[in-house]
Every structure is written in structure tokens, then in C-alpha cells.
Amino acid sequence: MTAFKIIWLSILSIPEFVRPENSLWQTDELKGVKPLRFVLAPVVLLIAIFAVLVVTSRRNTSGSVHPPLNAAFLLYLFYDAKNCDALVGDLEERYRIIRKRFGARRANFWYWTQVIRSVGPIAWAATKKLLKAASGVAAALEIWRRIRG
């Protein structure tokens, strides 16, 4: 029950619906884990997204020769469309060979493994790019502020 409360409050604290000073966090059992909410919330959300995608992809791909669509979609979330097309094409090329040799279930498993392992580096590269752009904007704003002030 406590675990459920922690997860629920962590998710609610992302958009700050439940602020850290809220009385819900002030109970003895939750006080200690309050600082962890920033880590817990994204982890819980990611697990939930993966679970939903895996479950729905099973329905989508039964009887189809194409790789799991939801797995490919994960890559499109973080990588630009043209390059992602090439990456997904590379995976599909190998997927078809594995499917022919080992069957659809193993091929789907292989595809999901590849995508989950690839999402990390791609998401990290996208984050770094975003941070670089954000720091550029911040620097420009700081220069502008100094010129004005």
C-alpha cells in the first residue's frame, strides 16, 4: 500500500499537482522517500509506457510479416524521421531473416531487444542536443540581459 502511495504521489508531483510541502507527503512513512520522487516518477511512467506498447503490439502483429510497430515507434520518438527510417529499415532487414529461420515469436523478441537497447543511446544523444540548444539560448539571453541592463 505504501509503495502504491509513493508511486501515485510521485506521478502526481511531476506536474506539481501535489507539491512537496503538501500534507500528503508529510506522513512518517513517506517523508524519507520524498526526495526520490523525481527518480521514481519517470521510471514508473517509462515502465507503464513499455508495458502498454508491448501488450498492444502483440495484438497488432499477429499474422503480419512486419516487425512490431510500437517498438519502431519508440525510436521515432527520439530520432529524426529520415534517419530513423534507415535505422528501422536495417532492423527490418535482419528481422525478416530471423523470422524466416526462427519464427515470429523469437523474431519479435529479438526486435524488441534491439529497440530497447537502442532507445537509451538515441534518447541520450537527443537530450544532449536539447541541453546544448537550451544552454545556447540561455547564454544568448544572458548576453541580451547584460547589454540591456
Partner 1 sequence: MATNDSLGTFEQIILTSLVLLGENAYGATVHEKVEELAEGSRSIGSVYTTLDRLEQKGYVKSWFGDPTPERGGRAKRFFKITAVGQRVLQQAMKVADNMVTGLREIGGLA
Binding site for partner 1 (CB under 8 A): 66, 75, 79, 82-83, 85-94, 96, 114, 117-122, 124-125
Contact yes or no for 23/14 (Cβ under 8 A): no
Determine how many CB atoms are found less than 10 A away from the CB of residue 14.
14
How is residue 42 written as a grid cell?
A: 519517470
From first CA to last CA, the distance across the chain in angstroms is 54
Please identify, using beta-carbon distances, which residue of 14 and 123 lies nearer to partner 1. Answer: 123
- As measured in angstroms, the least distance from the Cβ of 22 to partner 1 is 39
Least CB distance to partner 1 at residue 52 (A): 21
Q: Looking at beta carbons only, is 33 or 104 nearer to partner 1? A: 104
Minimum CB distance to partner 1 smaller for 124 or for 144:
124
Per-residue burial over 68-77, b if 16 or more Cβ lie within 10 Å, else e, is bebbbebbee
Q: Which is nearer to partner 1, 10 or 114 (CB)?
A: 114
CB of 6 to partner 1, least distance (A): 31
> How buried is residue 139: exposed, middle or buried, by Cβ count under 10 Å (0-12/13-18/19+)?
exposed
For the bound state, the minimum distance from the C-beta of residue 113 to partner 1, rounded and expressed in Å, comes to 9
Residue 28 or 80: the one with the smaller Cβ distance to partner 1 is 80
Report the nearest approach of partner 1 to the CB of residue 61 (Å): 13
